[in-house]
Amino acid sequence: MGSAEQDGRIRCAWAENSDAECAYHDAEWGVPLHGDPQLFEMLTLEGAQAGLSWRTVLLRRHLYREAFHGFDIARVAAMEDAELEESFANLVTKGIRWNEHEEFRQLGSDH
């Protein structure tokens, strides 16, 4: 069960822990995704959640968007190995840990 907030909305208890979770709950949670960039983003974020809380993933979401060109599939698919390595190194520098095998599995078998 959720609780009523000042704006009159009823939210699940988990959405009341942070502004990021509240915004996700109100605007995205349970809403079907149809566009390729949106599906790519959600798959990436869901994969990133392994071992992390959803709150942590949401707080770092902007870093994933930056690394993956706003989840533009064509741009990501066209990335050369050096650019991919640089993107992942930047993520690690900003506190996101990646398993090297996860990186390339995430982007597909063509790299």
**How many CB atoms are closer than 10 A to CB 25?**
17
**How many CB atoms are closer than 10 A to CB 14?**
16
Question: Catalytic annotation on 64?
Answer: no
The pLDDT value given to residue 111: 43
Tens-of-pLDDT digits for all 111 residues of the chain?
Answer: 455 556 778 899 999 888 999 999 999 999 999 999 999 999 989 888 877 788 888 998 999 899 899 999 999 999 999 998 898 888 888 877 665 545 545 555 444
Report residue 74 as tokens: 């064509």
- Find the catalytic residue in 5, 16, 46, 83: 46
- Find the catalytic residue in 21, 24, 41, 64: 24
- pTM, rounded to two decimals: 0.72
